[in-house]
Amino acid sequence: MCQLLGMNCNTPTDIVFSFEGFRLRGGLTDSHADGFGIAFFEQHGIRLLQDDKPCARSPVADLVQQYKIKSENVIAHIRKATQGQVSLANTHPFVRELWGEYWAFAHNGHLRGLNKIDGEYFNPVGNTDSENALCYLLENLRQRFRYKPSRDDLFATIAEITKQLRKYGLFNFMLSNGDWLLAHASTLLFYIIRKAPFGEAALVDEDVSIDFSAVTTPHDRVAVVATLPLTCNEKWQQLAVNELVMFSQGEIILRDCEQPAEYLSVAEGLSIARQAGVEM
């Protein structure tokens, strides 16, 4: 299994602080040592940085830290390979173009028994369950809609396809088209929305803190989503089991959640992952 990190904001923001803690989970504080990838949307363009070196020691990750790329939507992934060999073609996030937009996708979990799709429109290049799931999702969207539908119809359709896919196993994922960020939890996914008045945050993984009030304006709103909370002195919210959430402009605008909502403890989430035969 792997760890996910996402960001959605109302103004281009650099992800350096969150990424700093996150990347240490790639080989130093944690065991996710099989490469990493990060996708930054800059308006509708996309910048994808990936490395098969462990994230904590990757020169590509150094570039992310140094370059302070500002983006409204980011998806990052640290990989512990459980299916498919370690190669660039198997490194998340995966990107495709649909309806004249780039879509980026990263997955944490393991889907068993989903056949490799033979898509009219989308086919996987590598051999991971994750890229196959993205192609399944996009293929179904494109089969359904020749042109991009309304946001509500799109969300409802993605929720429906997600229900089909999660029958195959653990399906924590993030997906973005540069406008919005979708997050879906099978087990563990947490988010925080930072807005004025901004305070200080301290990383869980390293002795580093930041005073957001010094680097923001009062209008900024930034949602950060991660497999596990990245800071130790802020209150992170948890996604319920099988909940799908759409973030736009740094806030939640749509959600699809089973009732009653079920929340796993971190210990339960890790245990379910282990029972499914995947490391986390």
How many Cβ atoms sit within 10 Å of the Cβ of residue 48? 16
2 flagged as catalytic: yes
User: Which amino acid would we find at residue 181?
Assistant: L
Binding residue for its own copies (CB under 8 A) from 112, 121, 215, 219? Answer: 121
Closest approach of its own copies to the CB of residue 70, in Å? 12
Q: How far is the CB of 194 from its own copies (least distance, A)?
A: 25
Number of residues that bind its own copies (CB under 8 A): 34
Q: How many CB atoms lie within 10 A of CB 87?
A: 13
- Residue from the set 17, 22, 122, 190 that interacts with its own copies by CB under 8 A: 122
Q: Which is nearer to its own copies, 116 or 167 (CB)?
A: 116
* Nearest residue (CB) to its own copies, 62 versus 258: 62
Residues 228, 234, 237, CA angle at the centre, nearest 5°? 55
Q: Closest approach of Cβ 182 to its own copies, in Å?
A: 19
Query: If we measure between CA atoms, which residue out of 76, 92, 71, 86 comes closest to residue 21?
Result: 76
Kindly state the tokens that stand for 57.
Answer: 């020691």
Q: Which of 3, 73, 82, 91 binds its own copies (CB under 8 A)?
A: 91
Structure letter (DSSP) for residue 167: T
Q: Buried b vs exposed e over 180-205: b needs ≥16 C-beta within 10 Å?
A: bbbbbbbbbbbbbbbbeebeebebeb
For its own copies, the binding residues in 93-112 under the rule CB under 8 A are 95-97, 99-102
Contacts with its own copies, 146-165, as mask; x by CB under 8 A: x-------------------
Give the tokens for residue 274.
Answer: 């282990």
In the window 16-75, what residues touch its own copies (CB under 8 A)? 42-50, 59-60, 63, 66-67
| Side-chain half-sphere CA neighbours of 24 within 13 A | 13
The helix/strand/coil state of 34 is: coil
The residues of the shown chain that bind its own copies, judged by CB under 8 A, are 42-50, 59-60, 63, 66-67, 87-91, 95-97, 99-102, 120-126, 146
